[in-house]
Amino acid sequence: MRSTNYLADTNILGELARPRPNPGVLAWAETVETLGLSVVTLEEVFFGLAWKPSLRVRNWFQTFVEQQCAVFAVTPQIVQRSGEIRGSLRSEGQTRSQADMLIAATADLHQLTLVTRNTRDFAGCRISLLDPFQ
């Protein structure tokens, strides 16, 4: 697996696939040699492409993943950490999605900065966050 410092959320991939991506996201992406992705993010992208098919985006995505990404599997350790984070937040009255907490746990256990526009979805997870849209 290629070395990386970042784990991208689905919204970052969606932005990079646009014909004219946000300048902040594009500037940040140009500084990154290898981008980490959770298999959860891959599933979300394939869901989106099945729901709203786009041959251009599908071709871009497949090439991008093959050439520039390191994909992280969901392991028993990630599942455990995800459950701990989600349960802890729930005990504080904060409901979070299983998918987001699996992504957060992947970032946590691999010591990666999670790159997302939706920083509120990951607040309280005690992981490093970066919003390149700002």
- The answer to whether the beta carbons of residues 108 and 80 sit under 8 Å apart is no
* Burial of residue 10 (number of CB atoms within 10 Å: 0-12, 13-18, 19+): buried
Domains parsed from the chain with CATH numbers: 6-128 (3.40.50.1010)
Alpha helix positions (H), the chain: 10-16, 23-29, 39-51, 55-68, 76-91, 98-109
* Rounded CA separation 48/58 (Å): 10
The pTM of the full predicted model, rounded to 2 decimals, is 0.94
- Tens of pLDDT, residue by residue, the chain (134 residues): 667 899 999 999 999 999 999 999 999 999 999 999 999 999 999 999 999 999 999 999 999 999 999 999 999 999 999 999 999 999 999 999 999 999 999 999 999 999 999 999 999 999 999 999 98
pLDDT on residue 1: 62
- The DSSP 8-state label assigned to residue 19 in this structure reads S
Q: Which pLDDT score is estimated for 73?
A: 98
